[in-house]
Amino acid sequence: MTKRARVIACPYVVDMDSFTVSFPGGVVVETTYKAHTVRTDQPMDAGGTDTAMAPFDLFFASIAACMGFYALRFCQQRSLSTEGLRLTLVPMREEDSKRVSLVRVELELPDGFPEKYRSAIERAVDHCAVKKHILEPPRFELAIVDVGVHEPA
């Protein structure tokens, strides 16, 4: 059974299912949402076993998958070939701070892709919900909850 998150009373908040995090061993972290579980690990030089993407890598994978989905659906809805359709996301780090300051996205279109759709597919990919949430980030609220202590309903 999925536990529902308690949401601050705001007129614009829609209650979503909760993400549940577990720690099966080492530095592996598993996050479950609905019936799906994503496993993360750390590289060996960070104490992990490198059996899965690190959470920060998964963050960029989420952006790439979202943008890729919009490109794919654009082509499918117009019965355009997706053979050769490819999206590459390259995070660019600042040399001194190691902070990612640029995310370069390259969309490789299939051979024979109609010129009339080039700007339209660019706009479609730009609708990625993950990217939109980065550009207009949500507020974060951390609540420390003691085991066995429950707030009154």
Segment 96-136, tens digit of pLDDT: 888 999 999 999 999 999 999 999 999 999 999 999 999 99
Q: Quick: pLDDT tens for 69-103.
A: 999 999 999 999 999 999 999 999 998 888 999 99
Question: Using CA atoms, how far apart are residues 78 and 73, in angstroms rounded to an integer?
Answer: 9
Q: What's this model's pTM, rounded to 2 decimal places?
A: 0.83
CATH-assigned architecture of domain 54-137 = 2-Layer Sandwich (3.30)
Can you give the pLDDT at residue 97? 86
The residue type of 121 is I
Q: Where are the beta strands (DSSP E) in 36-144?
A: 36-40, 86-93, 100-108
Can you give the pLDDT at residue 10? 58
CB 46 within 8 A of CB 38: no
Can you give the pLDDT at residue 153? 55
Please check the confidence at residue 9 and state whether its pLDDT lies above 90. Answer: no
